[in-house]
Structure 1
Amino acid sequence: MTPRFTPQDTLPRRWLLGLFGVMLSGCASLSTPSSTDPANPAPKPSRYLDTQELPDSKNLLPPHPTQGAAAMALDEEISQRSFALRDTSRWALARTDADVSFPNAADTFSCALNAPVTEADTPYLYQLLLRTRDDLGYSTRSAKKHAQRPRPFVVNHEPICTPEYQAQMFKESSYPSGHATVGWGWALILAELSPQHANAVLARGLAYGESRNVCNVHWHSDVVQARSVAAATVAVLHSKAAFRAEMEAARAELLVVRSQGMKPRRDCAAEAAALSQLPSLAQ
Structure 2
Amino acid sequence: MTSSSKLLSGFAAVAVVTLGACAALPFPHKTQAPADASLAAPTPTKLSGYLSATDIDGKALLGPPPSPDSLRGRADREAYEQTRSLQGSPRWAQAIKDNDIWQGGALERYSCALGVRLGERETPAVWKLLHRTELDVRTVGTPAKNFYNRTRPMIGDDRPICVPREDWMRTNASYPSGHAMVGWSWALILTEIQPKAADGLMSAGKAVGDSRAICGVHYPSDIEAGRTLAAAMVARLHADASFQADLAAAKAELAKAPRAEGLSCPTQ
Q: Same fold (TM over 0.5)?
A: yes
Structure 2 equivalent of residue 156 of structure 1:
157
Letter in 1 for 2:173: S
CA–CA separation in structure 1 for the residues paired with 2:75 and 2:181: 20
Residues in 2 aligned to 1:104 and 1:244: alpha-carbon distance in whole angstroms: 27
Which range moved further: 77-86 or 110-119?
77-86
Structure-1-length-normalised TM-score: 0.74
- Shift of residue 77, structure 1, vs aligned partner: 2.4
The alignment's TM-score, normalised by the length of structure 2, stands at: 0.78
- Structure 1 segment 45-56 matched on structure 2, within 5 A: 45-53=47-55, 55-56=56-57
Matched, 1:239 2:236: no
RMSD: 2.1
Match of 1:82 in 2: 83
Deviation at 1:118, TM superposition (A): 1.3
Task: State the identity as a percent.
Answer: 38
Post-superposition shift, 1:156? 3.3
**How far does residue 138 in structure 1 lie from its aligned partner after superposition?**
2.1
Aligned to 1:147: 148
Is residue 96 of structure 1 aligned with residue 93 of structure 2? Answer: no
Aligned pairs for 1:20-31 within 5 A: none
1:232: how far off?
Answer: 1.0
Mapped contact 1:117–1:264 kept (Cα < 8 A) = no
Number of corresponding residues: 226
* 1:80 positional shift: 2.2
- Provide the residue aligned with 2:127 in structure 1: 126
Distance in 2, matches of 1:182 and 1:135, equals 9
SS in 2 for 1:95: helix
CA distance in 1, matches of 2:166, 2:107: 24
Matches within 5 A, 1:223-262: 223-257=223-257, 260=258, 262=259
Q: Any conservation in 2 of the 1:151–1:173 contact (CA below 8 Å)?
A: yes
**In the aligned structure 1, how far is the partner of 2:65 from the partner of 2:252?**
41
Question: Which residue of the partner structure matches residue 66 of structure 2?
Answer: 65
Q: Secondary structure at the match of 1:244?
A: helix
Alignment-derived partner of residue 197 in structure 1: 197
Alpha carbons 1:107, 1:118 under 8 Å: kept: no
CA contact (8 A) 1:97 1:208 kept: yes
In structure 2, list runs of 5 or more residues that go unmatched.
1-26, 29-44
Runs of 5+ unmatched residues, structure 1: 1-28, 31-42, 276-283
Q: Does the 8 A contact of 1:137 with 1:182 survive in 2?
A: no
Partners of 2:151 and 2:215 lie apart in 1 by: 15
Inter-partner Cα distance in structure 1 for 2:170 and 2:149: 11
Q: Distance in 1 between matches of 2:207 and 2:234?
A: 19
Letter paired with 1:50? S
Question: How far did residue 67 of structure 1 move?
Answer: 2.3
Superposed CA deviations along residues 17-66 of structure 1, whole A, max 9, x for unmatched, are xxxxxxxxxxxx89xxxxxxxxxxxx74221113332x111111121111
3-state secondary structure, aligned to 1:139: helix
Shift of 1:166: 2.4
**Deviation at residue 106 of structure 1 after TM alignment:** 4.2
> In structure 2, do the counterparts of structure 1 residues 143 and 51 end up closer, same or farther at CA, with 3 Å as the change threshold?
closer
Counterparts in 2 of 1:111 and 1:255: CA distance versus 1, 3 Å: same
Task: Select between 44-53 and 175-184 the one with higher mean Cα deviation.
Answer: 44-53
CA contact (8 A) 1:137 1:179 kept: no
Higher alpha-carbon deviation: 225-234 or 87-96: 87-96
Does 2:259 align with 1:266?
Answer: no
**What are the Cα deviations for residues 168-214 of structure 1, in whole angstroms up to 9, with x where unaligned?**
11222111111111111111111111110111111111111011001
